[in-house]
Structure 1
Amino acid sequence: MGRRTRIAVLGCGRVSARYREVLGRELADRVEVVGACDRQPERAEAFVSATGGAAVGDLQALVALKPDLVCILTESGNHARDALALLNRGCHVLIEKPVALRLEDAETIRDTAKAAGLMAAVVKQNRYNPAMRFVRDKVDSGAFGRLIAAEVRVHWCRYQDYYEDGWHGTWRMDGGVLAQQAIHHLDALHWLGGPIDRVCAVGTALVNRLEAEDTAAAVVVFESGAVGTIVATTAARDRDFEASIQLVGEKARVKVGGSALNRLEDWFCVEQDPLETDVALRHSQEVPNSYGLGHGPLIRDVLDAIEAGGPPPVDVDSAMTSLRLMHALYASMETGGWVDLRDAPASTRLGRAR
C-alpha cells in the first residue's frame, strides 16, 4: 500500500455526517483528511475534529491544502460550479447526487475532467447495497426473462424546517422530492429495469411549503415495453419508513425495500437454484438511516481507480441517466402530458432562476 490519498470535503451540511464516519473510521487506512470547508466555521470545525485536517472557509483555501480528491457536498445547485472550479485547479472530484441540476452543466463537468485527465466520480451509493447487487446480478443473468412491470415507492419524512434553509425545495438550487430524495430510486429504476422510453408525471406541494413538489407520481414506459410507476413524497409522517423498488418479470419477481433500498423483502424465480437458500437474510443489510452503508465501498472503489488511473465506479454519463429521467418527469409536469426521452426533454425551471 502506497501513501494514503489526500482527501478534503467541500460543504459540511446534512450528508457530511456520513462522510465524517466513513473518512474518519471506515477508510482511515486509505485516506488522509487534509481539510473541510464550509461557510459556517463551526460546521467545518466539527468535521475535522473527528477526521483531522484543517477547517477552512473558502474553496481557494481548501485547494491550498493540496488534496488529491475533493468530495463535493455543497447545495445541489452549486455542484457544477464547485466541480468545475476544483477540476480547473487540478483536483479529482467526487460529487454527491445529483451530479448537477442542469444537463448541460453535467456534460461540461464530464468534458472538463476528460480534457484535464482528472476523475469526476458521482455518488450512487445504493448501487453498492447487497440487495441491489443481488438483483442486478439476476437481471444480468436473464433470470427475470422479459420485464413486465416495475414500481418505485419513496415514503420519507421532511418537516417544514428542512425547507427553511434558503435552498432546499427551490427550483434554482434543488428541486423537490424527485431531485433531492427520489433521485436514488430513479437511478435504481433505470439501473435495474433498463432504459425508459416515455413518462407522464404530476407533482405538487401538498403538506410542506416549497417552490417545488413534496409529492410526485408518474407512469413510465420502458424501451422494452414494460410499464412502471413512481410514487414519491416527503410528506409521510413521522419518519423515513419506505424506499422500495419492485420488479416483475416473466420468470421472477423481487422487492427491495427498507428505508434505503437495503432489504431484500421478496424474491421468487421459477428457475430457482435449489442451493440458493436464505436469500433474503444473506443479501439484506440493516442501516442506521436512509443514507445506507454504500458510501464506504463506493469511495474505496474511487480511491482504487485514482491509484490505477482507471475510470470511476460511477462516472458522469452513468449518473446522467437518472438526471435525464428527472428532467423528463419535470418536463411532463410542466407540459401536462406524456414526454418522450428521445426528445431530450429538459425542465424549464430546475436549476434556473425564476
Structure 2
Amino acid sequence: MNTLRRKWRIGVLGCGRVSARYREVLGQELADRVEVVVAADLDIAKATAFAEVVGGTPVSSIEELVAAAPDLVCVLTESGNHAVHALQLIDAGLNIVVEKPVALRPADAERMRDAAAAKGVMCAVIKQNRYNPAMRFLRNMVDEGRIGRLVTAGIRVHWCRHQDYYDDPWHGRWSMDGGVLAQQAIHHLDALQWLGGPIEAVCAAGSAILNRLEAEDTAVGLVRFRSGALGTIEATTSARDDDFEASLHLVGEQAMAKIGGRALNKLEFWRPVEPRQGDERAVETFSQDVPTSYGLGHGPLLGEVLDALEKGTPPPIGVDQAMGSLRLVHALYASMETGGWVALEDNPTSTRLGIVNSGAS
C-alpha cells in the first residue's frame, strides 16, 4: 500500500516575531509534509530572511502571494490586519490558518467564518496551548468528571515586554492590537474557558503601569462561571526581566490541579480526592520543557490542520471555537470601560479594541 502523503504547498503572510516559531515548524517538524512556496511581508528583507531558512519565493504583497497559489496560507500579520487579510485570501479561494486572535472584533471574525463557508475553503485558528500534554491531561480529567463541581479557577500571566516592543507601529494600539489581555493572555483566557467551562460575567480593571502604550500592560479580573464557580485573572507584561509564569489552577470538589511553566507546559500539581493508578506519575508524564513562551503546540495543531485538508473535514479549531476567548476579551474591556460587572450573554463589545482613532486609555 502506498502510504506517501502529498506535500502541501504553504504560503506565509507576515514574517515578524511569531514567524520564528513557524520557521521551526514548517522547516523541521512538518518538513516531510509541507513545502513553503512563498513568504510575504511588506518588508522584503524579512520575507527574504524567512525564505532563506525554509524555502519559497520572498514577495512583498498579498497579490504576489495569491499568484503563487499555495494550498494553505499561514496568516501571521498584525492582529488588527487579520480580518482584512484573511478575507482577501478567502476571496481568492485559499485555505488559511490564522494566528491568535482570530480578529479584533467579533463581527469581523463572523465575516471570516461565513466567507470561508461560502467559498468552500478552510479558516482555521491557532490555539496551540490546547495541544500541550498538561492541558490535554487536565481536559481529560474534566471530561471524565474527576474534578467534580468546580469551586474556583484562575490564570496568572507574568511575562516581560520592554518598551521597544510597544514602540513599533502596532503593538499596544487599540486599533491594531489591544493590551496584555488581547495579545498575550488571550491564550490563557482560552484555557480558562476550555477547562473551567462557560463564563457568565466578568469585572475587570487594567492600566499601563511600567510600559507606555494606549492599552494596558497589566490587568486583573473577577470571573463568575455559569456553573456558579468563581475565578480570577491576573496578567502583565511588566514582569522583569523575562517571561516568568503562565499558569492556570482548578479547585474542584473532587480534585485540585495546577498547570504552570512559561507556556502552560508543566503539570505542577494534581491531587484527586480518590487517586487512581497512574496519578502519582501524572506530573512527570504530562509535563513538557519548552524553549520559549510560544510552547510546542504549533506543530501538532498544524499537523491536524493538514489532516483535515486531506480528509475534507472541518479544522481542529475553527472560528466558532476561537470566538470564546475573543468575546471574553471584549467583555473584560467593556467592564473596564463601564466600571462594573458585564454579562457575556449580552455579547458586550469594547468601544476601543479594533476601532481606529479610539483614543488612549
| TM-score normalised to structure 2 length | 0.97
| Consecutive aligned runs of 4 or more in structure 1 exceeding 2 Å deviation | 274-277
Contact 2:12/2:39 (8 A) holds in 1:
yes
Paired with 2:271 and 2:208, the residues of 1 have a C-alpha distance of: 37
1:90 to 89, 93, 99: 93
The reply on whether 1:205 has 2:192 as its aligned counterpart is no
Q: How many Å apart are 1:276 and its aligned residue? A: 3.3
Q: Deviations over 1:276-324 (max 9, x none)?
A: 3321111000000000000000000000000100010100000000000
Query: Which amino acid counterpart does residue 343 of structure 2 have in structure 1?
Result: D
1:61 to 52, 59, 64: 64
The reply on whether 1:337 has 2:340 as its aligned counterpart is yes
Who is 1:239 aligned against? 242
Unaligned runs of 5+ in 2: none
The reply on whether 1:319 has 2:303 as its aligned counterpart is no
The reply on whether 1:7 has 2:10 as its aligned counterpart is yes
Paired with 2:190 and 2:279, the residues of 1 have a C-alpha distance of: 27
The reply on whether 1:134 has 2:137 as its aligned counterpart is yes
Who is 1:276 aligned against? 279
The reply on whether 1:226 has 2:229 as its aligned counterpart is yes
Who is 1:193 aligned against? 196
Paired with 2:168 and 2:26, the residues of 1 have a C-alpha distance of: 26
Secondary structure at the counterpart of residue 280 of structure 2: coil
Aligned counterparts, 1:1-354, within 5 A? 1-354=4-357
Q: 1:172 to 1:199 in 2, by over 3 A?
A: same
Paired with 1:275 and 1:147, the residues of 2 have a C-alpha distance of: 23
Paired with 1:149 and 1:81, the residues of 2 have a C-alpha distance of: 38
- Taking only the aligned residue pairs, the percentage that are identical comes to 65
Query: Which amino acid counterpart does residue 241 of structure 1 have in structure 2?
Result: F
Q: How many Å apart are 1:275 and its aligned residue? A: 3.6
Q: How many Å apart are 1:96 and its aligned residue? A: 0.1
Contact 2:5/2:33 (8 A) holds in 1:
no
Q: Deviations over 1:208-240 (max 9, x none)?
A: 000000000000000000000000000010000
Paired with 2:130 and 2:279, the residues of 1 have a C-alpha distance of: 22
Q: How many Å apart are 1:42 and its aligned residue? A: 1.0
Q: How many Å apart are 1:192 and its aligned residue? A: 0.3
Secondary structure at the counterpart of residue 278 of structure 1: helix
Q: How many Å apart are 1:151 and its aligned residue? A: 1.1
Q: Deviations over 1:73-107 (max 9, x none)?
A: 00000000000000000100000000000010000
Paired with 1:102 and 1:274, the residues of 2 have a C-alpha distance of: 46
Q: How many Å apart are 1:272 and its aligned residue? A: 1.4
Paired with 1:62 and 1:200, the residues of 2 have a C-alpha distance of: 43
CA RMSD of aligned residues (A): 0.6
Paired with 2:229 and 2:96, the residues of 1 have a C-alpha distance of: 36
Paired with 1:22 and 1:235, the residues of 2 have a C-alpha distance of: 29
| TM-score normalised to structure 1 length | 0.99
